[in-house]
Chain A
Amino acid sequence: MALLQISEPGLSTLPHQHRLAVGIDLGTTNSLVATVRNGISVVLNNGNGGAILPSVVRYLADGSVVVGEAAQAMQNEDAANTIVSVKRFMGRGLKEVGEISRLPYRFVGAPSPSVAPGNSQGGMVQLRTVAGVKSPVEVSAEILKVLRNTAETALGGELVGAVITVPAYFDDAQRQATKDAARLAGLNVLRLLNEPTAAAIAYGLDNAAEGVYAVYDLGGGTFDISILRLSRGVFEVLAANGDSALGGDDFDQRIHCWLLEKNRLSALGPQDTRLLLTHARAAKEQLTEHAETRITAALSNGEVIDNVLTRSEFHAMSQNLVEHTLQPLRRALRDAKLGVADIKGVVMVGGATRMPQVQHAVEEFFGQTPLTNLDPDKVVALGAAIQANLLAGNRSGGDWLLLDVIPLSLGIETMGGLAEKIIPRNSTIPTARAQEFTTYKDGQTAMSIHVVQGERELVSDCRSLAKFELRGIPPMVAGAARIRVTFQVDADGLLNVSAREMSSGIEAAITVKPSYGLSDAEITRMLQDSTQHAQDDMQARARREQQTEAQQLLEAVQHALEQDGDLLDQAERAQIEAYMGALRDTLQLTDHLAIKRAITALNDVTVSFAQARMDKSVAHVLAGKNIADLEIK
């Protein structure tokens, strides 16, 4: 419940105890886990001595799962069951995965039960494997489980939590999917951190940098540009832009297409498609060091392809991809109200920035040589670990403040299919905005609100995040009801929406479950299905944690009732007390999920109480903002 009194600081931290926390770079191509050891951020090696885990997951018919190099080794042979670059599918619908025909998977567009009614775009894309239909969230969770294992083995203990990085330009659906995957992998997410910001932390703290920096992050499947001001321990993101569907993979695709054309090939099977993509990637990497490279491969029908690709040919075929990254760059600068001359340094992040044509383009744009002294593959994980260490409450490494932004505007659908912006892009998070709506028909008792994200004017050009309905509005004449909707973006960049009818106090609160996301029920089912880690001691630990949280919540609510009980009528108070009793009853149960459900229920039932307490204190802050922000047409 919100707005409760605070317990003593450091309640759950024993003094001098180092709390194990990690930073995880869940990349399109590779994933890494890092931690701060003796004050230094280090990437953790897995059992095989390697630090980099290829983000490849292979499903076998017996239901077992192989992750990493072993899976990668089978990607040509068992392409349909070996998922590569799953990050590109996170929080995405079937229609948005553009290159379906060129990918060796059996896609399922099965809409999830959480799909908002009337949303024709369907739910998150899923993949059919020999082990059944898998959602990208489940596939990503397999990668995270391996990283968690690596960390717990290397550190010799359970993790307090993890910072997971996401592309700065990830929208709400993609962020939520990432957080769900972490949950599924049994990780406590301390924060979702934007990848360029993580890199800036690693770079800035290392170099005691001051001034405005640009982070150019071209990964395997995503492109981000962030403009940050570094000043006396404050990392302030001024603007972020990017393209969450542009990365090194697209350069592979260009070579792949070139191979198809050169050899007059069409309609390859999954195996040959993956084979050529693998060769394309190898050729791309070769061309970083060499002027030309030879590609030879034997297709499944016995046909042998043998082509020489020169660097200049490759540059020509990928030139528009490189140029495509410059537009977000210009936009980010405009949003930050800065010019190229204001940029003190340009930090390069992501394996794809190794390509010479990318470095040249960035150098030409900024008129300065980009900084490449940090390993572009590791800097994000290293920065995430530094932040994780801070968030876990280990103050050994000094103190700094990170002020990040929401990359894409949030809005709602208005008459005529237009999107009205509620929270503009590049707003510093956490942030909230309240907006009032009214009924347009006499006696109208329900209202539907469609939340979208994006910069375009038409709702159909933005991403649908969710639709939710406010029911039980007391019947009044048209225009008499006043429904205040509050949009709250938290420090993870995730949106929560709550709505309340001001004259009756009727409350509807939802966490935006994206149109492309998974419902809580689905996550719970997946958690129950994944019995791999569900040992009894973990159950016991989960139970203890839930018991602690339950007790804290009960105390807090009790305290709030004593302080502000007068804000409630008798029925409301009785309801809260009933839920408190129900929660107390679950404390004896062994099922931690039952406790959790009771916690959630009590939290839910106290939302309007919290709102009332908040209104009591801050109503004057949020009220009225909405009207002032109305567009003048």
Chain B
Amino acid sequence: MQLASFDFQQNHFQLFGLAQSYQIDIAQLEQQYRALQAQVHPDKSAHLPDAEQRLAVQRATLVNEAYQTLRSPLRRARYLLSLYGVDTQEENNTVMPLDFLMAQMEWREAVAEAQQAKDAATLDKLEVQIKRETRELEAQLAVKIDIEKSYAAAAGAVRKLRFMEKLAEEIHAAYDAIDL
């Protein structure tokens, strides 16, 4: 790809030459990412005039942003749905199945207790459970988006996935806290 043809208008999938779907080839994404950065990274234009360096910062920023978005299953789903005109409403739609919310509360309490007790083994177990649940939600997303194309239902799964990510972050923070 020639630098001059770098197009800020492309969506993230187009940028990396990927088909626009939830399921993507991560290895191909990584390879394309590196190939793109090898061209647009500011280090490649450090000897050029300031204006060009600033442009490089913006291109590389966009490539990083696009890569981070597509690499994360949650962000990829959210982004893909936004391309289909569906807002995942993670900040204002908190209607969740009761059993899901109950499970969330229990997990959070378990994480907090494990942190309090400095119990890394329990955190390990919780992490495995949460990973499993996360994988399950991601599998549902693949079906809902790529096969059934039921985007509203997929938005619900994204909201759940956001909860799981938050839990994963809490576990991460708990490990850090135990290690103080």
Binary interface encoding of chain A residues 529-572 relative to chain B, with 1 for a CB under 8 A from any of its CBs, else 0:
00000000000000000000100110010000000000000000
* Interface segment, one of B16-24, B60-68, B143-151: B60-68
Residues in chain A near residue B52, CB distance under 8 A: 6-7
Residue pair A331, B60 in contact (C-beta under 8 Å): no
B1 at the A/B interface (Cβ < 8 Å)? no
Residue A428 lies at the interface, judged by CB distance under 8 Å to chain B = yes
Q: A393 on the interface (CB 8 Å rule)? A: yes
A60 CB within 8 Å of chain B: no
Are the C-beta atoms of B8 and A6 separated by less than 8 Å? no
Return chain B residues, CB-CB under 8 Å to A234: 34, 38
Cβ proximity bits B145-180 to A, threshold 8 Å, 1 near / 0 not: 000000000000000001100100000100110011
Contacts A7-B49, A234-B38, A391-B47 aside, 4 further interface pairs with beta carbons under 8 A come to: A6-B3, A234-B34, A403-B37, A431-B61
Interface residues on A, range: 35 or more
Smallest CB–CB gap between A191 and chain B, Å? 6
Which residues B55-92 have CB closer than 8 A to chain A? Answer: 55, 57-58, 60-62, 64-68, 75, 78, 82, 88, 90-91
Nearest-neighbor residue (CB-CB) of A619 within chain B: B8
Nearest CB in chain A: distance from B55 CB, A = 6
Q: Which residues of A contact B51 (CB under 8 A)?
A: 1-2, 4, 7, 552-553, 556
The reply to whether B48 and A11 form a contact with Cβ atoms under 8 Å apart is: yes
Pick the contact of B60 from A327, A455, A491 — CB < 8 Å?
A: A491
Which among B52, B55, B61 has the greatest number of chain A C-beta atoms within 10 A? B61
Knowing A390-B43, A549-B50 are in contact, say whether A2-B91 is a contact too (CB < 8 A).
no
Question: Contact: A330 with B179, CB < 8 Å?
Answer: yes
Q: Which residue of A lies closest to B59 (CB)?
A: A430
Pick the contact of B64: A10, A428, A556 (CB < 8 A).
A428
Contact A617/B91 with A6-B55, A331-B176, A390-B43 known, Cβ cut-off 8 Å: no
Q: Which A residues are in CB contact (< 8 Å) with B172? A: 334
Decide: B37 and A401 in contact? CB cutoff 8 A: yes
The answer on a CB contact under 8 Å between A632 and B57 is: no
Q: Label chain B's interface by main secondary structure.
A: helix
**Chain B residue at minimum C-beta to C-beta distance from A190:** B46
Residues of B within 8 A of A331 (CB): 176, 179
The answer to the question of A432 belonging to the interface, with a C-beta cut-off of 8 Å to chain B, is yes
Chain B residues, Cβ within 8 Å of A402: 41, 43
Q: Would you list 10 pairs from A and B whose C-beta atoms are within 8 A, ordered by A residue?
A: A10-B48, A327-B179, A334-B172, A402-B41, A428-B68, A552-B51, A614-B58, A621-B65, A627-B91, A628-B78
Residue of A nearest to B83 (CB): A620
Q: CB distance A632 to B176 under 8 Å?
A: no
Q: Which residues of A contact B117 (CB under 8 A)?
A: none
User: How far is A231 from B64 in the complex, measured between Cα atoms in Å?
Assistant: 18
Report the minimal beta-carbon distance from B33 to chain A, rounded to whole angstroms. 9
Asked if residues A334 and B46 are in contact (CB atoms below 8 Å), the reply is no
- A622, closest chain B residue (CB): B65
Alpha-carbon distance A104/B81, docked complex (angstroms):
62
Let me know if B48 and A490 touch, CB within 8 A. Answer: no
B121 within 8 A of A: no
Question: What CA separation (Å) do A191 and B82 show in the bound complex?
Answer: 37
- Residues on B lying within 8 angstroms of A by beta carbon are 3-4, 8-9, 11, 34, 37-38, 41-43, 46-52, 54-55, 57-58, 60-62, 64-68, 75, 78, 82, 88, 90-91, 162-163, 166, 172, 175-176, 179-180
At the interface, yes or no: A81 with Cβ under 8 Å from chain B? no
A385 to B46, CA, bound (A): 14
Enumerate chain B residues within 8 angstroms of A403, measured Cβ to Cβ. Answer: 37, 41
Given contacts A491-B60, A621-B8, A628-B88, A191 and B48 within 8 Å (CB-CB): no
The answer to whether A393 and B47 touch across the interface, beta carbons within 8 angstroms, is yes
Residues from 149 to 177 in A contacting B, C-beta threshold 8 Å:
160-161
Residue of B nearest to A2 (CB): B54
Q: A430-B64, A628-B90, A630-B91 are in contact. Are A491 and B49 (CB under 8 A)?
A: no
A430 touches B60 (CB 8 A): yes
Most chain-B CB neighbours within 10 Å: which of A2, A12, A390, A399? Answer: A2
- Are A488 and B57 touching (Cβ within 8 A)? yes
Select from chain B the residue with minimum beta-carbon distance to A335.
B172
| Interface flag for A254 (CB, 8 Å) | no
A11 to B90, CA, bound (A): 48
CB < 8 Å neighbour of B62 from A330, A429, A553, A621: A621
Q: 1/0 per position for A130-159, CB-CB distance to B under 8 A?
A: 000000000000000000000000000000
From B46, B58, B82, B166, contact of A632 by CB (8 A): B166
CA distance A13 to B49 in the complex (A): 11
Q: Which parts of A1-37 form the interface with B (CB within 8 Å)?
A: 1-4, 6-7, 9-13, 19
Closest chain A CB from B89 CB (angstroms): 9
Query: Are A13 and B47 touching (Cβ within 8 A)?
Result: yes
What does the 1/0 interface line of A457-477 toward B look like (CB < 8 Å)? 000000000000000000000
Q: Does A618 contact B (CB under 8 A)?
A: yes
Q: How far is the CA of A273 from the CA of B42 in the complex (A)?
A: 46
B47, A160: Cβ atoms under 8 Å? yes
B42 adjacent to A490 (CB under 8 Å)? yes
Nearest CB on A from B176, distance (A): 6
Contact between chains at A632 and B91 (CB < 8 Å)? yes
Closest CB-CB distance, B117 to chain A, in whole Å?
19
- Does chain B have a CB within 8 A of A624? yes
Contact in complex: B78, A430 (CB < 8 Å): no
Please give the distance in Å from B60's CB to the nearest CB on chain A: 5
**B-facing residues in A39-80 (Cβ within 8 Å):** none
Q: Give the docked Cα–Cα distance between A488 and B163 (Å).
A: 28
A212 within 8 A of B: no
The reply to whether A334 and B34 contact each other, CB–CB distance below 8 Å, is no
By the criterion CB–CB under 8 Å, are B61 and A488 in contact?
Answer: yes
- Nearest B residue to A4 by beta-carbon distance? B51
- Residues facing B in A376-414 (CB within 8 A) are 387, 390-393, 399, 401-403
Closest to A394 in B: B47
- What's the least CB distance linking A186 to chain B, in Å? 18
- In the bound assembly, the distance between CA atoms of A305 and B6 in angstroms comes to 70
- A-B residue pairs, 3 tightest by C-beta: A393-B47, A617-B8, A391-B46
Q: Are A2 and B55 in contact (CB under 8 A)?
A: yes
Closest to B7 in A: A617
List A contacts of B90 (CB < 8 A).
628, 630, 632
What distance in Å separates the Cβ of B52 from its nearest Cβ neighbour in chain A?
Answer: 6
Give the complex CA separation of A624 and B87 in angstroms. 10
Interface centre among A327, A331, A427, A628 (most CB of B within 10 A): A628
